[in-house]
């Protein structure tokens, strides 16, 4: 998940010029697949399943709070997660990208060193971009803090648009025009004394539907190690307005 809980994640997540042009739309690239206007609200069901058999379930709510002017990033759209994180995003002909973030424990927003794309134009099969992610699920079994994200906060992930115009059935209903985006990264960690260092895959599938936004995320971070535990996260839209 990028930028949101998944991106967003939490932390999370999670647009094609050709698609919008064909629809006769003059809005910036991807805005109809990731709405930014004030007042929009999304509720997700999140399930974390760990390799040790434990399961965690929670509800996540994201809200659009409107336009703000950041001293470091200019005019930006603010989005807030109910887990206490705010994100500032911008939209132009290149796509939708995050420019800053802030947790409730921070006094000021942290500016991203470079634009952190959520969706990058053109929104066509095969389009690619890179953005940093982290390990949201991988944990060490006997160290503190156990979460790998504390030692590896920025892992480069390659994103690819795998499908456009894809239908998707969810708890919130059926959506007919969705983008499917796949992200792939690897994280080299010491797995155990037998196999030593190992390249562990981090993969994510994200679906963005026209007029709605992020609808589903599937995140996989397997470990299969005596020193580490991994798992999967599924985030699915259950209500939106």
The answer to whether the CB of 95 falls within 8 A of the CB of 128 is: no
Tokens of 128: 């690619």
CA angle 30, 169, 89 (to 5 degrees): 25
Amino acid 29: pLDDT? 57
* pLDDT recorded at residue 4: 41
Q: In whole angstroms, give the CA distance from residue 67 to residue 136.
A: 29
Nearest to 120 by CA among 11, 34, 62: 34
pLDDT at residue number 26: 36
pTM of the full structure: 0.85
Query: What CA–CA distance (Å, rounded) separates 121 from 102?
Result: 26
**143 Cβ partners below 8 Å, 6+ apart?**
none
Q: Could you state, in order of their start, the residue ranges of all structural domains in the chain? A: 2-60+120-240
Return the beta strands (E) in the chain as ranges. 2-5, 7-9, 41-50, 55-70, 74-81, 85-92, 95-103, 110-120, 128-133, 139-140, 155-170, 173-192, 196-209, 213-221, 228-229, 231-240
Helices (H), 38-127: none
Query: Six-digit token pair at 30?
Result: 């991807």
Supply the pLDDT for residue 30: 63
Q: One digit per residue, pLDDT tens: the chain, 241 residues?
A: 544 443 333 333 332 222 232 233 335 556 799 999 999 999 999 999 999 999 999 999 999 999 998 877 778 999 999 999 999 999 999 999 999 999 999 999 999 988 899 999 999 999 999 999 999 999 998 888 899 988 898 899 999 999 999 999 999 999 999 999 999 999 999 888 888 999 999 999 999 999 999 999 999 999 989 899 999 999 999 999 9
Alpha-carbon gap, residue 62 to 82, rounded angstroms: 6
Cβ atoms of 223 and 230 within 8 Å: the answer is yes
pLDDT number for residue 66: 95
User: What is the rounded CA–CA span in Å between residue 190 and residue 198?
Assistant: 6
Task: Kindly list the distances between the CA atom of residue 61 and the CA atoms of 34, 153, 222, in Å, as whole numbers in the listed order.
Answer: 15, 24, 27
């Amino acid at each position: 998940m990028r930028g949101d809980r998944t991106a967003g994640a939490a932390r999370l997540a999670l647009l094609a010029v050709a698609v919008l042009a064909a629809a006769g739309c003059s809005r910036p690239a991807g805005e109809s697949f990731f709405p930014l206007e004030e007042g929009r609200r999304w509720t997700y069901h999140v399930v974390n399943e760990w390799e040790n058999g434990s399961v965690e379930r929670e509800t996540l709510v994201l809200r659009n709070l409107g336009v703000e002017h950041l001293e470091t990033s200019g005019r930006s759209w603010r989005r807030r997660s109910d887990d206490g994180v705010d994100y500032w995003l911008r939209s132009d002909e290149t796509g939708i990208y995050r420019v800053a973030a802030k947790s409730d424990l921070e006094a000021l927003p942290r500016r991203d060193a470079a634009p952190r794309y959520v969706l990058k134009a053109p929104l066509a099969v095969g389009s690619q971009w890179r953005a940093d992610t982290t390990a949201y699920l991988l944990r060490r079994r006997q160290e503190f803090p156990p979460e790998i994200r504390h030692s590896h906060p920025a892992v480069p992930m390659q994103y690819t648009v795998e499908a456009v115009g894809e239908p998707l059935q969810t708890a919130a209903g059926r959506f007919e025009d969705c983008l499917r985006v796949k992200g792939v990264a690897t994280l080299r960690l010491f797995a155990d004394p037998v196999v030593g260092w190992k390249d562990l895959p981090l993969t994510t599938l994200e679906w963005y539907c026209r007029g709605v936004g992020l609808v589903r995320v599937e995140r996989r971070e397997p470990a299969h190690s005596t020193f580490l535990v991994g798992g999967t996260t599924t985030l699915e839209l259950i209500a939106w307005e």
